[in-house]
Amino acid sequence: MITGPDLQSLVSQIADEMRARPDRGRVADYIPELARVDPAYFGMAVALPDGTVAAAGDADTPFSIQSISKVFTLTLALGIAGDRLWKRVGREPSGSAFNSIVQLESEKGVPRNPFINAGAIAVTDVILSGHKPREALGEILRFMRFLSDDQGVAIDKAVAESEQRTGFRNMALANYMKSFGVIENPVDYTLGVYFHHCAIAMSCRQLALAGRFLAQSGRHPATGLSVIQAERARRINAIMLTCGHYDGSGEFAYRVGLPGKSGVGGGILAVVPGQASIAVWSPGLDAAGNSHLGRIALEAFAKRSGVSIF
Ligand code: DON
């Protein structure tokens, strides 16, 4: 892995190239508040274990992390339930859209993996158990602030309310899972926490810093504290590789060769185990709902820096 000025110049070069490209994908419009985001943004940040960050473009502009939050809620839920979590959600790629309902009928309401919407709602339900929605949300936010070493991380209330007003598919998924007993709390509570953690706003710099524990065998580099066991960090990375980009996960693994998690806000968090945590943001999406230029930027980074898990 390259470091220092060479790393900074690579990140700056990729940001300049991405900003100049005309093909930007399509901004998500099923959440009205996200449809207003300018597709011209591009940001990138690479965080190293010692906390240094190489950043370029709009790397300090907060954006809606959406499904990237599911990496962190999975981490928290594994801390709460341990391997019992896997009774409520599977670990297989779905091969379907992130908001699909079809597999739930034949699979007794147990979602394929923790990153599709149904799976992430089930994970949120585990975090909520025994708490009030406000407390569960506070826990998630405190975790994000701790991991990014930044107390400024916050929820974008307008995005949360926008999705709460229009999230009929997620309501259907949650109610359907409830009918199988996979959701234990009142559906409104679970969905309220889910919509709000998806609406956390972070910059590429904050997100890259927050992802370092996945690159560092579960340790939070700034404090040396263990966030999660090394084995669990490896396994979360494995699920990011196989399921982090929904029906585009195979293509992402083929082109980028790193564990990654996307969100419909246009962000992607990628992990170089043992070396770095990378966040990119470009709001326009491809057909599978993953950042179009975000993936291309990560592919360029992996190729030119030589990083890959393979
Ligand atoms: O539930 C949803 O539809 C959104 N809050 C999150 C979806 C998402 O980010 C999918 N990612 N590419």
* Catalytically annotated residues: 67, 70, 194, 246, 264
CA torsion sign for 28, 31, 36, 37 is negative
pLDDT of residue 198: 98
**Is 170 assigned to a binding site?**
yes
Q: What is the pLDDT of residues 107-151, one digit of tens each?
A: 999 999 999 999 999 999 999 998 999 999 999 999 999 999 999
* Average confidence (pLDDT) over 212-217: 97
Pocket residues: Cβ below 6 A from ligand 1: 66-67, 98-99, 117, 163, 170, 198, 262-264, 289-290
Instruction: Please state, in angstroms and rounded to a whole number, the distance separating the CA atoms of residues 258 and 248.
Output: 13
Instruction: Please state, in angstroms and rounded to a whole number, the distance separating the CA atoms of residues 225 and 145.
Output: 15
Closest by Cα among 90, 5, 4, 13 to 301: 13
Structural domains of the chain sorted by starting position, each given as residue range(s) with its CATH number in brackets: 4-63+203-305 (3.40.710.10), 67-198 (3.40.710.10)
Q: Where are the alpha helices (DSSP H) in 110-199?
A: 117-128, 133-148, 157-166, 168-179, 187-198
pLDDT of residue 3: 82
Q: What is the pLDDT of residues 29-49, one digit of tens each?
A: 999 999 999 999 999 999 999
pTM for this prediction: 0.98
Percent of the chain with pLDDT over 70: 100
Instruction: Please state, in angstroms and rounded to a whole number, the distance separating the CA atoms of residues 136 and 123.
Output: 12
196: which 2 tokens? 């709000």
Instruction: Please state, in angstroms and rounded to a whole number, the distance separating the CA atoms of residues 295 and 38.
Output: 18
**Is 41 assigned to a binding site?**
no
